[in-house]
Amino acid sequence: MEKGPQIRFVGGASTEKKRQIKKEIERALYDHYPTISKEDLEIIKKEERPKTEMELGLFDYANKESNILMERAGLPSYDIPAENFHMLSPNSIMKPSEEIV
């Protein structure tokens, strides 16, 4: 299993723009902490709770099923680690970001 999908672009965008978008996507997939604002990181550090066994099981199931879909589409499978998901209480002051990373 590879680290992630091979990201490629088609269309009329410039080579530089394609490179920039690829870098942003890879950073969001594999090193997402730099994409989170300092304010949101502080909230995550303060309010993140441990994942339950059920949640870990659901992440694992979703990961396996998405890999099956990737393989059916002729693409290499890749893991999305549970560490990429942050569980916050519903009362958290953090609001969903409108920014697309």
pLDDT digit string, tens, across residues 17-75: 888 887 777 666 666 677 778 888 888 888 899 999 999 999 999 999 998 998 898 88
| CA–CA gap between residue 42 and residue 21 (Å, rounded) | 27
Cβ-Cβ contacts under 8 Å for 76 (sequence gap 6 or more): 1, 2, 5, 6, 70
Name the region of 59 (left: φ>0; alpha: ψ -120 to 50; beta: rest): alpha
Phi-psi region of 86 (alpha: psi -120 to 50; beta: other; left: phi over 0): beta
| Size of the chain, expressed as the number of residues it contains | 101
Prediction pTM value: 0.56
